[in-house]
Amino acid sequence: MTEGKKNMNLPLITLTTDFGLSDEYVGVMKGVIYTICPTARIVDISHNIRPQDVRQAARIIFSSYRYFPAGAIHVVVVDPDVGSSRRIILLEADGHLFLVPDNGVASLLLPRTQKIYEIDNTTLYRHPVSPTFHGRDIFAPIAAHLASHLAPHSAGSEIARDAPVRLDFAVPSICGNIMRGIVTDIDHFGNLITNIDKERAGCFCSHDFHRLKVHAGALTIHGIVSSYNAVRRDEPLALFGSRNLLEIGINQGNASTKLRLGLDSPICLSI
Amino acid sequence: MTEGKKNMNLPLITLTTDFGLSDEYVGVMKGVIYTICPTARIVDISHNIRPQDVRQAARIIFSSYRYFPAGAIHVVVVDPDVGSSRRIILLEADGHLFLVPDNGVASLLLPRTQKIYEIDNTTLYRHPVSPTFHGRDIFAPIAAHLASHLAPHSAGSEIARDAPVRLDFAVPSICGNIMRGIVTDIDHFGNLITNIDKERAGCFCSHDFHRLKVHAGALTIHGIVSSYNAVRRDEPLALFGSRNLLEIGINQGNASTKLRLGLDSPICLSI
Amino acid sequence: MTEGKKNMNLPLITLTTDFGLSDEYVGVMKGVIYTICPTARIVDISHNIRPQDVRQAARIIFSSYRYFPAGAIHVVVVDPDVGSSRRIILLEADGHLFLVPDNGVASLLLPRTQKIYEIDNTTLYRHPVSPTFHGRDIFAPIAAHLASHLAPHSAGSEIARDAPVRLDFAVPSICGNIMRGIVTDIDHFGNLITNIDKERAGCFCSHDFHRLKVHAGALTIHGIVSSYNAVRRDEPLALFGSRNLLEIGINQGNASTKLRLGLDSPICLSI
């Protein structure tokens, strides 16, 4: 509880957006937060989500939140419907708070969610509210008030746990002795991150990862290794990365460029 | 006043530069700041100002500062004349401090400025002063001393309010029933931000925004909407954005790429 | 000592990586740090080190650390051998701490190093340790524990000062009346930064910098200036930049693009 108490005194807000880092948008959100909650710590998770890519944002926040202290407030603004009647929701999940547009970006968090609120306390907003920048006028002030110990139920009304929009995410399929997945993300190094998680792949191959063959484009990789340098420089490899997802990489090289594979490229496993 | 007092204890410095985020320049400025003022909070507004684009920096800081708490210290280092005899000035404006090179980057702030100082207290500089990096050796330490409650008059000598360099900024012109503006910025989403503000456009059309036609290249857009998703996906639109400036966008698309328009492209309004 | 004491209470951690800013990797490291040390201040030096470019990281941290307060903890994660048996080492040098992979990234710091520890206290790691992301599971928690006043010898075992991997860095050569160097870095402005430092060049020309000729590709520049605007706009120039290294620039232009020179291009001095 000591840890929890410390965090109460030093609230932490994370930001995940598709705003990029060239415009003033992110800085302005931080200005609004600090105006309301001067003691907040603010961490940028990413501002380079592909524009309007709600699924990418969903995967990033789901992969990240658990590394932050309990009580952290995670704000995600990837919000193609800003200014429409789409709701803004606050989730209590796994000891963390998530303030997000109700567009499916919370889909992966819903199984771990205890309570959900629809944000409707307009007295907490910045006014006038710009119909194009709720990040500044709604998300930032609400997050800052929560960081200043506002109770979630004072920011909005509780709604049913099955009320939020749920997006489908492609899951691997098995047909005979082949498991079919796709590339869902390409990281800064050019590693191809797939939707095939270690647990699912382990069941498929009876946890004998050495006998797996990974098919990526014209390439077949034999066996799964545990680190990039398990193969020679410039050689391709397959491993389960820091998200516990199957990745295709090239030791000290860019797999996406060299293999000419990108988002949605099919990746298959066979035994 | 409680808010002001809190901010005195937790000073806030914003940084706006054209330094980019690949080199050590921004990090080193923060190191200098924290060495002098360990309790400062530092917010990056943008480090991706186009190199030497003083006007872009002027627009960004003018659009941003009001969202930060009163008492914030805004440092702008877009400084093509670094190492020359150009002055460094400190402005007190609207309850904020602005530490900038005297190259016109403060032009838009001057109408709101109460006092201006020429920074000349060399005892506060880092020595030796590099003639190529005043950000590290002058701006950062002066900002940090101000954040540590140094009075502005201890950093420099007051100068006349009309002394600083003023740059001209293109303003829309009206000829008959046509208002002519230009694209001044393109944001991360590809939205084309113009120099036509809502107030000016409102006077032009007697606040009947529905009858306005917006001409952008070969395209004519009928009427102003309030949010991006007021039109179908991939359709163009015109709205007043979060800076209260006319923007041409494409719902969930990149207007600059799709319309092949860029900086300085003419944008016209007609009734 | 007051300053030192202040820093003890407000520990400072810097981060230098090749992780980029699009993925969650940097944000997640900060989450781990704040979970262990809520009062840390964290400064990004650069996350855009070229992938796996250990030498670039070595130059950046060497050029940066001295601008941070004594006691700062500098974490460098450019780590192509992550998951192998390469060591992680902690250096005490010049009043600062450096937590780095033992791959030569500390080479330039070794002459100033008092003590070196091999990190081996696995009880401080996050578990399970991902073989692909020691930044999250080893570097971040160790740095945070050091920031929380863990003594270095509690994180690892002292090793000999000559034990770490040392990389060679190209140094300028002199042949007759010609000094030959190379471009080692290109900054955000396109300035070509060389490995020719001011001291070495000064000895070469008996500190009469005006008589030096700088040869860069087909171009010869006569004399060294002190600031970019010492020549006319779009004209090339040579100066000693903020790292005290010879740079080839173009006033308000991009030297790399305009001169078509890049990394490893030869740059010569003659008298």
- Antiparallel, parallel or unpaired: β A178-186 and A236-240: unpaired
Nearest CA in chain A to B62: A24
Q: Does B254 touch chain A (CB under 8 A)?
A: yes
Res A182 pLDDT > 90: yes
Inspect the interface and report whether the beta carbons of B132 and C242 lie closer than 8 Å.
yes
Contact criterion met (CB < 8 Å) for C28 and A64: yes
Distance CA B159, CA A207 (A): 75
Q: Mind listing the pLDDT tens digit for each residue in A46-85?
A: 999 999 999 999 999 999 999 999 999 999 999 999 999 9
Helix (H, G, I), strand (E, B) or coil at A185: strand
Q: What tokens does C266 get?
A: 């030869």
**Is the minimum CB–CB distance between B35 and chain A shorter than 8 Å?**
no
Statement to judge: residues C12 and C49 lie in one domain: yes
pLDDT at C72 over 50: yes
Q: Residue B216 — very low, low, confident or very high, per pLDDT cuts 50/70/90?
A: very high
Say whether both A130 and A25 belong to one domain: yes
Q: Give the other-Cβ count within 10 Å of A271's Cβ.
A: 13
Residue B164, domain member (yes or no): no
Judged by a CB distance cut-off of 8 A, whether residue A40 touches chain C is: no
With 70 as the cut, is the pLDDT of residue B169 above it? yes
Q: Which among C30, C34, C82 has CB closest to A228?
A: C82
Distance from C-alpha of B192 to C-alpha of B259, rounded to nearest angstrom: 10
Enumerate long-range contacts of B98-103, CB under 8 Å, 24 or more apart.
B98/B61, B98/B65, B98/B73, B98/B74, B99/B73, B99/B74, B99/B75, B99/B139, B99/B142, B99/B143, B99/B146, B100/B61, B100/B75, B100/B76, B101/B76, B101/B77, B101/B134, B102/B164, B102/B165, B103/B54, B103/B78, B103/B79, B103/B165
In this structure, are B142 and B78 located in the same domain? yes
User: Which ranges of B117-232 would DSSP assign to H, the alpha helix?
Assistant: 134, 140-147, 152-155, 198-204
3-class DSSP state for residue A189? coil
Instruction: Give CA–CA dist C98/C115, Å, rounded.
Output: 11
State how far residue A119 is from chain B, nearest Cα, in angstroms.
Answer: 20
Q: Are residues A236 and A141 both part of a single domain? A: no
Number of domains chain A contains: 2
CB pairs under 8 A between A and B: 100
Residue A256: half-sphere exposure toward Cβ, Cα within 13 Å: 16
Q: Which residues contact A75 (CB under 8 A, 6 or more apart)?
A: A13, A14, A15, A16, A99, A100, A139, A140, A143
Chains with 3+ CB–CB pairs under 8 A to C are A, B
Residue B8 clears pLDDT 60, i.e. is over it: no
Domain boundary among B102, B125, B159: B159
Q: What residues of B are in contact with residue A17 (Cβ under 8 Å)?
A: none
> Mean pLDDT lowest for which of A82-91, A258-267, B4-13?
B4-13
Give pLDDT, residue C5: 43
| Disruptive mutation site among A42, A47, A242, A256 for chain C (greatest number of C CBs within 10 Å) | A242
Rounded Cα gap, residues B116 and A259, in angstroms: 58
Domain harbouring A60, CATH code: 3.40.50.10790
Mean pLDDT value across residues A175-201? 97
The predicted model gives B59-75 an average pLDDT of 98
Q: Do A21 and C21 touch (CB under 8 A)?
A: yes
Provide mean pLDDT across the span B98-118: 98
pLDDT of C4 higher than 50: no
Do C29 and C148 share a domain, yes or no?
yes
The residue out of C159, C192, C225 marking a domain boundary is C159
Nearest chain B CA: its distance from A188 CA (Å): 14
Query: Is residue A177 domain-shared with residue A155, that is, in the same domain?
Result: no
Q: What is the mean pLDDT of chain A?
A: 95
Rounded mean pLDDT of C165-175?
96
pLDDT tens-digit readout, C115-133: 999 999 999 999 999 999 9
Contact A241 C80 (CB under 8 A): no
Closest partner CB to C41 (pick from B18, B19, B34): B34
Nearest CA in chain B to C6: B38
Nearest CA in chain C to A61: C24
| pLDDT tops 70 at residue A254 | yes
- Whether chain B has a CB inside 8 Å of the CB on C6: the answer is yes
**Whether B67 and A130 lie within 8 Å, measured CB to CB:** no
- Residue A222's closest CA among A240, A238, A235, A245? A238
Q: Tell me whether residues C27 and A242 touch, CB distance under 8 A.
A: no
Q: CA C224, CA A147: separation in Å to the nearest integer?
A: 54
Subunit contact C67:B32, Cβ cutoff 8 A:
yes
Q: How confident is the model at residue B135 (pLDDT cuts 50, 70, 90)?
A: very high
pLDDT of residue C3 exceeding 90: no
The per-residue pLDDT for C123 is 98
Distance from CA of A20 to the nearest CA of B (A): 6
In a domain, B139, yes or no: yes
**High-pLDDT (> 90) share of chain B, %:** 96
**Chain A contact set for B10 (CB, 8 A):** 38-39
In which band, very low, low, confident or very high, does the pLDDT at B246 lie, cut at 50, 70 and 90?
A: very high
Q: pLDDT tier at B3 (50, 70, 90 boundaries)?
A: very low
In the predicted model, is pLDDT for residue A119 greater than 70?
Answer: yes
Tell whether the model's pLDDT for residue A3 goes beyond 50: no
Structural domain includes residue C214: yes
pLDDT in tens, A6-19: 444 689 999 999 99
Subunit contact A242:C130, Cβ cutoff 8 A = yes
> Chain A contact for C44, CB < 8 A?
no
Q: Would you place residue C6 in the very low, low, confident or very high pLDDT band (cuts 50, 70, 90)?
A: very low
C41-46 vs C12-17, strand pairing mode: parallel
A132 touches chain B (CB under 8 A): yes
Q: Which residues of A touch B188 (CB under 8 A)?
A: 18-23, 25, 51
Given B3, B47, B189, which is nearest A51 (Cβ)?
B189
Top-confidence residue, B8 or B117: B117
Where residue B187 falls among pLDDT bands split at 50, 70, 90? very high
On whether both C155 and C188 belong to a single domain, the answer is no
Closest CA of chain A from B131, distance in Å? 27
Contacts of C25 in chain A (CB under 8 A): 187-188, 242
Q: Which domain holds residue A81?
A: 3-159
Q: Where are the alpha helices (DSSP H) in chain C?
A: 2-9, 25-36, 54-64, 134, 140-147, 152-155, 198-204, 255-259
- Together in a domain, C182 and C153: no
Q: Is residue C150 part of a domain?
A: yes
Give the Å distances, CA to CA, from C82 to A252, C73, C100.
Answer: 11, 21, 11
Q: Is the pLDDT of residue A2 over 80?
A: no
In a domain, C168, yes or no: no
Name the domain boundary from A159, A188, A203: A159
User: Are residues A187 and A142 part of one domain?
Assistant: no
C86 to chain A: nearest residue by CA? A229
- From A185, A224, A183, A221, select the one nearest A202 (Cα to Cα): A224
Q: How far apart are CA A246 and CA A238, in angstroms?
A: 7
Does residue B262 belong to the interface with chain C, where contact is any CB pair within 8 Å? no
Measured between beta carbons, the chain C residues lying within 8 angstroms of B84 are 227, 229
pLDDT, tens only, B27-41: 999 999 999 999 999
Give the Cα separation of C67 and C64 in Å (integer): 6
Is residue C184 less than 8 Å (CB to CB) from chain B?
no
Inter-chain residue contact A34 with B43, CB threshold 8 Å: yes
pLDDT of residue B4: 41
Q: Does B72 touch chain A (CB under 8 A)?
A: yes
Any A CB within 8 A of C81 CB? yes
| Residue range A153-164, pLDDT digits in tens | 999 999 999 999
Please name the member of A68, A229, A254 whose beta carbon is closest to the beta carbon of C34.
A68
Question: Does some domain include residue B167?
Answer: no
Does residue C164 fall inside a structural domain?
no
Do B120 and B231 lie in a common domain? no
Q: Which of C32, C34, C52 lies nearest to residue A12, judging by beta carbons?
A: C34
Write the CATH number for A212.
2.40.30.90
Proportion of chain B in helix, strand, coil states, percent, rounded to 5: 30, 30, 40
Asked if residue C223 belongs to a domain, the reply is yes
Contact at CB, A38 and B7, closer than 8 angstroms: yes
Contacts of A251 in chain C (CB under 8 A): 80
pLDDT for C172 equals 97
Same domain, A74 and A134: yes
Q: Region A191-214: what's the mean pLDDT?
A: 95
Give the pLDDT score at A5.
43
Say if residue B48 is in the same domain as residue B155.
yes
Task: Please give the C-alpha separations between residue C97 and each of A252, C12, C30, C112, C147, in angstroms, as whole numbers.
Answer: 28, 11, 18, 11, 10
Which residues of C are less than 8 Å from A44 in CB distance?
Answer: 21, 26-27
Label residues C113-143 b or e (16+ Cβ within 10 Å = b): beebbbbeeeebbbeeebbbbbbbbbbbbbb
Q: Which of these, A219, A235, A228, A226, lies nearest to A268 by C-alpha position?
A: A219
A8 inside 8 A of chain C by CB? no
Write out pLDDT tens, residues C244-267. 999 999 999 999 999 999 999 999
- The CA distance from B166 to the nearest CA of chain A, in Å, is 23
